A = this chain, B = another copy of it.
Amino acid sequence: MKKKSLPLSEVYRLLEPGPVVLVSTHYKGIEDVMTMSWHTMLDFEPPLIGCVISNRDYTFNLIKSSKECVINIPTVDLLDMVVNCGNTTGETIDKFKKFKITKKESSQVRAPLLDECYANLECKVIDTKLVNKYNFFVLEVVKAWIDPKMKKAKTLHHRGKGIFMIAGEEIRSRSKMK
């Protein structure tokens, strides 16, 4: 997939609607990917993201040690990848091999980009003050990529219990949100 660089000021438009994402990590030769829905924008530019990665997840120590990750945004055609990555642990399997996920090199971090996802956000961990209490990491997006052919991405939005809402029609309000 040929992606172009996305201005950092546009990143919030991808994450604010609440898509499920895939978080990829790298630490000392070990790589993993997990499914995540608990994230929020914290600031526009530089784009800051807050997200919950449980200390029961294999990814937890990888991101805590490397202080880096990539947030990859999948569309509905990747439903199986999303659920498979959510239901398995990198402790016992290599999810990239097992689920045939294509890794690409990132430009600013060592964690890989997932090529199948239409957008990828390279992130650095910048604040861990709430990690002990809530498993809450503060990330700064340092580089963003998007598939220029993707206009209205059919993202997945988890409603619990294996049910996902697929992004529907768009509506424009008469006045812009300030």
Report which A residues bind B (CB closer than 8 A): 10, 12-13, 16-19, 35, 37-43, 48, 50-52, 76, 79-80, 82-83, 86-87, 127, 129-130, 133-134, 136, 138, 152, 154, 156-178
Contact = CB atoms under 8 A, between A and B. Distances in A.
B159 A177 contact: no
B165 A167 contact: yes
A177 B16 contact: no
A17 B171 contact: no
Given A129-B130, A152-B165, 8 more contacts: A12-B160, A16-B158, A18-B18, A37-B41, A163-B171, A164-B170, A164-B171, A166-B168
A75 to B, nearest CB: 12
Given A16-B158, A18-B17, A87-B177, A168 B171 contact: no
Contacts of A157: 16-18, 157, 167
Nearest to A14: B159
How many copies of this protein are present in the complex?
2
B166 A50 contact: no
A44 to B, nearest CB: 10
B40 A50 contact: yes
10 contacts: A16-B157, A37-B41, A42-B134, A48-B134, A87-B175, A87-B178, A134-B138, A161-B177, A163-B170, A168-B169
A18 to B, nearest CB: 1
A100 to B, nearest CB: 17
A11 to B, nearest CB: 10
